[in-house]
Amino acid sequence: MPIDPNAVGAQGSPTRHRWTSRDTLLYSLGVGAGTEELAFTTENTKDTPQRVFPTFAVIAGMGGLPFDKIGSFNPAMLVHGEQGIELLQEIPAEGEVETTGKITAIWDKGKGAVVEMACESTDVATGKPMLRTRFSAFIRGEGGFGGERGPSASAEMPSRAPDHEVTYQTSPDQALVYRLSGDRNPLHSDPSFAAMGGFDRPILHGLCTYGFTGRALLHTLCDGDPSRFRSMDGRFSKPVFPGEALTVSVWVDGKECTFQTRNPAGDVVLDQGKMRLA
């Protein structure tokens, strides 16, 4: 059957995800960290305990998603629309969470359907909530079922110059490293598969762009301290190719900030950015 708007509120089965120090180190390399960030890229540097980038939440906390309850659709038509994370405690270098996902909204956009889901992950060791994730997926060709269109993006970037601007260079091999954290979609590695999607070469994972952006926010606004990083939301607006530079522009308003990430041509690739810190 097609997309079922009555699936809103449905929950998935709880799933557990365990990670090790190696997993978090590999994620750090996948989002571009290196020798200048040894707290995130090594576990045995003198007087430098290993810490974890807050955006690792997208790896640790994306479980128990009830995709099987929204109806039938072609997975190739699904595009990652928005991503958000909320940290309730600092993510440890090694740990395990139990995650439950829930469908929070389904919108009819005419040419497609937007499905929004949210997950909460509990620390298995303590029984306390560790993190929450939320995301939306746009499924092309699945609109027109007569549902509500839902809200439209309303956040506007400040007209003044940004308070901070950070540029990180991605590697031509960036997607090959990032995919080792779990997303083995050949769109990011196989030129022939990327061509079927209309790209002349593989594209970077959207969540890798998200991780580069979160890394810039962490160092710029939190002095590299993950315990001060509370939440981050953004909307994917354009693909990024491995090897492109990413420039993150940040506007600060107290404990909150607005941000955008652009490619070298000046195109916005991560939009509607909001971040909150302690």
Active centre residues (catalytic)? 183, 188, 203, 206
Interatomic CA distance for residues 45 and 169, integer angstroms = 25
Interatomic CA distance for residues 27 and 240, integer angstroms = 18
Q: What is the maximal distance between C-alpha atoms in the chain? A: 61
**Cβ proximity of 256 and 274 under 8 Å:** yes
Interatomic CA distance for residues 98 and 191, integer angstroms = 36
Cα four-point dihedral sign 255, 251, 132, 134: positive
Interatomic CA distance for residues 216 and 224, integer angstroms = 9
Phi/psi-derived region of residue 158, left when phi > 0, alpha when psi is between -120 and 50, beta in every other case:
beta
What's the first-to-final CA gap in the chain, in angstroms? 45
Structure tokens at 24: 């978090």
Residue appearing with tokens 């195109």: 267
Alpha helices in the chain (DSSP H): 21-30, 38-41, 57-60, 174-178, 191-196, 206-221
Structure tokens at 196: 């079927």
